[in-house]
Amino acid sequence: MRIAIYPGSFDPLTNGHLDVLQRATKLFQRVIVAVAKNESKNPLFTPAERVALIKEGIGHLANVEVDAFDGLLVDYVRRHQASAIVRGLRAVSDFEFEFQMALMNRKLDESIETIFMMPKDTYTFISSRIVKEIAKLGGDISPFVPPHVETALKKKLKVPKKA
Ligand code: PNS
């Protein structure tokens, strides 16, 4: 069985993440979305909250599981007998970091491939960081995240309802 791990902070899930995930499910029999606990990144949502938001967003996808992880990604990949890491690539600006990570992970384990997938062009400018900033400043984030994530973000950030 071809298994892929789709790792990330997912703080929070965006429509861009969902687009990449959907594409990955067509290539792999099982895709595990692995939420990095990443406390050093000071996430807005706890790992459990991020996992729950993803689970709520993937009802339409049959071969996806969601989990949280700590420690080295390659160890997690090996533990789950996966053969690939899936990462979304939006723009040239993503490339340097992604290239470094992919080659480092390959150095750590030659048997694991990293597969990059481009999201739909309308999602290429979306990032969790920018979505959080727009939400914090009272902007409309509905085109960028699923409705339940929008609700959770507004609640978390205590954004007042518009009159
Ligand atoms: O969504 P992000 O924040 O860009 O995801 C980055 C992530 C979680 C994939 C990366 O930080 C990671 O793999 N962390 C696990 C620790 C690890 O293995 N680090 C070495 C990677 S070369």
* Spatial CA neighbour of 98 closest among 111, 85, 112, 79: 85
Query: Would you name the residues annotated as active-site residues?
Result: 17, 41, 90, 128
pLDDT, tens only, 62-73: 999 999 999 999
Q: Predicted confidence band at 163 (pLDDT cuts at 50, 70, 90)?
A: low
- Residue matched to tokens 């150095």: 107
Q: Predicted confidence band at 40 (pLDDT cuts at 50, 70, 90)?
A: confident
Q: Report d(CA 73, CA 102) in Å as an integer.
A: 11
- The answer to whether residues 141 and 150 touch, using CB atoms and an 8 Å cutoff, is yes
Q: Predicted confidence band at 127 (pLDDT cuts at 50, 70, 90)?
A: very high
Q: Which atom of ligand 1 is nearest to the CA of 41?
A: 3
Q: pTM score, two decimals?
A: 0.96
| Ligand 1 pocket, residues with Cβ under 6 angstroms | 7-9, 36, 38, 72-73, 101, 104-105
Summary count for the chain: helices (H), strands (E): 6, 5
